Amino acid sequence: MPIEVYAIFLLSAFAVISAVGSLITTDNFYAALYMALTLVTIAGIYALMNLQEIFILITFIFVGAIGIVTVSLAAVYKFRPSRQLSKLWLIPSALTVVILGYVLYTKVTYIALVGRINLSGLGLEYFLLISALVSLIVLLMLSILSISRGGISD
């Protein structure tokens, strides 16, 4: 097996472990940090698959903007003493993972990724769509800033 396959195995394992860390920690701040780590690892899998455009979008938009806002919000409400994990739900969840994992692993075939996205070949509609979506995110960010600074009356 080539080294990339081992790297994807390692990143996948790391993503699941950091997600478990996010689940079992009682501190919201660390849970948010583990969540950011999981998302960066998922973006890393895209980068290893030679899909750098998606890696940049996930890292900049999802981790960079939303992840950091979540981490800062979690830092404000940092201390939560009570245990938050419901152990009763762990059993059916673990069973679902095992069953679905087994079915997917036995039924899904191997694939070969087909290389890079040709950005120059994409039409004007894509860039129009991305511009509209970036504007939407900026507007939402401004609204949240306005709410957090008390710009809108309760």
Residues 34-63 that bind other proteins (CB under 8 A): 35, 38-39, 42-43, 45-46, 49, 51, 53-54, 57-58, 61-62
* DSSP assignment of 45-106: HHHHTT-HHHHHHIIIIIIIIIIHHHHHHHHHT----S----GGGHHHHHHHHHHHHHHHHH
Report in angstroms how near the CB of residue 72 gets to other proteins at its nearest. Answer: 10
Among 74, 120, 124, 151, contact with other proteins (rule: CB under 8 A): 74
- Does position 154 interact with other proteins (CB under 8 A)? The reply is yes
Report in angstroms how near the CB of residue 124 gets to other proteins at its nearest. Answer: 13
- Does position 111 interact with other proteins (CB under 8 A)? The reply is yes
The CA angle 99-14-29, to the nearest 5 degrees, is 105
**How many C-beta neighbours within 10 Å does residue 22 have?**
17
Among 121, 124, 128, 151, contact with other proteins (rule: CB under 8 A): 121
3-state secondary structure of 26: coil
- Does position 82 interact with other proteins (CB under 8 A)? The reply is yes
- Does position 108 interact with other proteins (CB under 8 A)? The reply is yes
Among 16, 68, 128, 151, contact with other proteins (rule: CB under 8 A): 16
Report in angstroms how near the CB of residue 25 gets to other proteins at its nearest. Answer: 10
Among 10, 68, 100, 128, contact with other proteins (rule: CB under 8 A): 100
- Does position 65 interact with other proteins (CB under 8 A)? The reply is yes
Q: Report how many residues bind other proteins under the rule CB under 8 A.
A: 77
Greatest alpha-carbon span in the chain:
60
Alpha carbon distance 131, 117 (integer Å): 19
Contacts with 19 (C-beta within 8 Å, 6 or more apart), sequence order:
34, 35, 38
